[in-house]
Each structure stands twice: as C-alpha cells, then as structure tokens.
Structure 1
Amino acid sequence: MKVLILCTGNSCRSQMAHGFLQSFDHSLIVCSAGTKASGKLNLKAVEVMKEAGTDISHHTSDSVDKYLNDEWDYVITVCGGANESCPAFTGKVKHRLHIGFDDPSDAIGTPEFIQSEYIRVRDEIKKGFYEFYLKEIKGNG
C-alpha cells in the first residue's frame, strides 16, 4: 500500500501526517511532498512530533515532481493549496482524499500560544490520519 501526502511547503502538516501514518503501520510505503516544497522541515513540527513519540527529523522536504511517475493507492492533501494541484495525479492514483488542517506556522501571538497551535494541529492530524487508517486501510470503518 502506497500513500502520498501532499501539502504546499512539505515542511509541517504533511510531514506530521507522514510520521503518524508510518507509525501506525510500518508495512505502508508513506511519502510526503509539496507543490512548492520548502526544502526543509519546520523545526517546531519536528519538536512537537518528538514530544508525541514520533521522530520525523530524518524526513526530507521534497517536491511533488519527484513522485509524478509513481503509482499511488492514496494521494491525500492536507491543505487547500495542494488540493488544487492534485489533478496531475488522476491517472496514477486509486483514491484521492482531502483531510485539511490549519497551518500552525501561520499562528501569531505569544510563544505559548504558538506552541499550543502546533500541538493542537498535531493532535488533529494524528486523530484524522488514525481514522483514515482504520477506515480505509484496515477496513474497520
């Protein structure tokens, strides 16, 4: 089973989703990419994922172009921007899904508030992708 998770920058939400989905089932082939990949991971995302027990520090931020010729069981977008760019995958994807999340890197305020936004979004991503995993991959939905 091959799953590609798409976002715009591939530095935060798609990376968290990638880390969680891989942690649920190590037999899955999970990749993440961005329509405008930043080339680096969001350090706050790495930090809050580590606090949740999932290390994504070894991930790379890759352009979606790297995966255009591959076949995917699922392509999942996690932000509005990438959702508009997905049709390029139509011929090589069995299932397209959109599971959207706020971008915690847009949070403005105190360091405590910003930290709380990363944690909130991280927890929403974990819940959303665990539900996807149970329903779509394990067939328990």
Structure 2
Amino acid sequence: MTDRVYNVLFLCTGNSARSILAEAILNRDGQGRFKAFSAGSQPKGEVHPQALALLAKLNHDTGFARSKNWEEFAQPGAPVMDFVFTVCDNAAGEACPVWPGQPMTAHWGVPDPAAVEGTASEVALAFADTYRMLANRISIFTALPLASLDRMTLQSRLGEIGRDLPRAG
C-alpha cells in the first residue's frame, strides 16, 4: 500500500457547477487518498447557487467553493496534478494549458445542470442527476488499484469511466 495522495483537477468551462460538484465529491469520498481541485477555461466568477444548495443539503463543506481559472493550476508553485478530468464537452475540446508533471487525462462529460431552464424543482433535479453521475464515476475511480496498474491500463480504465454507465433498474 502507498500513503501517496493523488492530486486531481476537474475542468469545465464556467467552473460554477459540474467541476465544483466533482471537487466536493472526491474531496469527501477520496479523503486521505485524493485531493481534488476544480477550475474553468472561462470561469463565471461565482458558484451556481443551486450547486451550493445541493452540496449543503448533502452535508458537504462548501467553504472551498470558488470559481477560478485553470491557468491558476499551470503556474509555478501550483499543486502538481496526477489526474485531470474534463466534465463538460466544451472544456474537452479546448486547448488546455500544459500541466506540469504530465498528468493522466480523461473526459467524463455530464450534462450541464446550470443550463436547465424550468421550475425550481426541475433545476434541482438536474443538479441532483449531475451529482449522481459524477458520484458514480468518482466511486469507480477511487476503487481503482492505482499503484498496481500500468500507465496504459490506467489510461484505458479512466476513459471507460467517462463513457455512459449502465443505467440501474
């Protein structure tokens, strides 16, 4: 066993919903093994209120949550990332900064709950669905035997996690 803590960066365009949710999930579920961060290519400057409300409802600490630019993590002195995951299709297609340390990358796109228009209940449901999808992927990721997988196998598994998961029921 290794006592190593892996740094993981979740990227999205606005860094206001999906990447923030993923950061919160991994920091709680992967505590002691993973340290999660999030950022955006064009950060909105604020976290979506529904993301904060859902995290609070699920007993996540929300003190970490702020919308920030991904360039923050490409600067000297920034934490070196072991993994970088895009959680929106726009960020996956953008030219990313060069990440020090050559982290493993994968695309785990999920629908943008912040783009949902409708009643408060419909918006809340969209956020809950996105949270569930991210939590499922993160659960699979944290169960991987990282120290015992070679780089090619690990890269393949990371890609598989991002593909549609089978639906329950």
TM-score, normalised relative to structure 1? 0.88
Residue aligning to 1:67: 73
Taking the aligned partners of 1:30 and 1:135, their CA distance within structure 2 comes to 16
Query: Displacement, 1:133?
Result: 1.5
Q: Which runs of 4+ in 1 moved over 4 A?
A: 136-141
Residue aligning to 1:128: 137
Structure number with higher strand proportion: 1
Residue aligning to 2:35: 29
Taking the aligned partners of 2:70 and 2:102, their CA distance within structure 1 comes to 14
Say which of 74, 77, 84 aligns to 2:86.
Answer: 77
Residue aligning to 2:120: 111
Q: For 2:82, what is the secondary structure of its paired residue?
A: strand
Query: Displacement, 1:78?
Result: 0.2
Question: Residues 138 and 50 of structure 1: is their aligned pair in 2 closer, same or farther, counting only changes over 3 Å?
Answer: farther
Structure number with higher helix proportion: 1
TM-score, normalised relative to structure 2? 0.74
Question: Residues 139 and 20 of structure 1: is their aligned pair in 2 closer, same or farther, counting only changes over 3 Å?
Answer: farther
Question: Residues 9 and 104 of structure 1: is their aligned pair in 2 closer, same or farther, counting only changes over 3 Å?
Answer: same
Question: Residues 82 and 75 of structure 1: is their aligned pair in 2 closer, same or farther, counting only changes over 3 Å?
Answer: same
Taking the aligned partners of 2:20 and 2:10, their CA distance within structure 1 comes to 8
Bigger Rg, structure 1 or 2: 2
Q: For 1:26, what is the secondary structure of its paired residue?
A: coil
Deviates more, 1:79-88 or 1:26-35: 79-88
Tell whether the 8 Å contact from 1:46 to 1:57 is kept in structure 2 after alignment: no
Structure 1 unpaired stretches of 5+: none
Residue aligning to 2:152: none
> What's the C-alpha RMSD, in Å, of the aligned pairs?
2.2
Structure 2 unpaired stretches of 5+: 1-5, 150-156, 158-169
Larger RCO (CA under 8 A, 6+ residues apart): 1
Deviates more, 1:80-89 or 1:36-45: 80-89
Q: For 1:22, what is the secondary structure of its paired residue?
A: helix
Query: Displacement, 1:50?
Result: 1.7
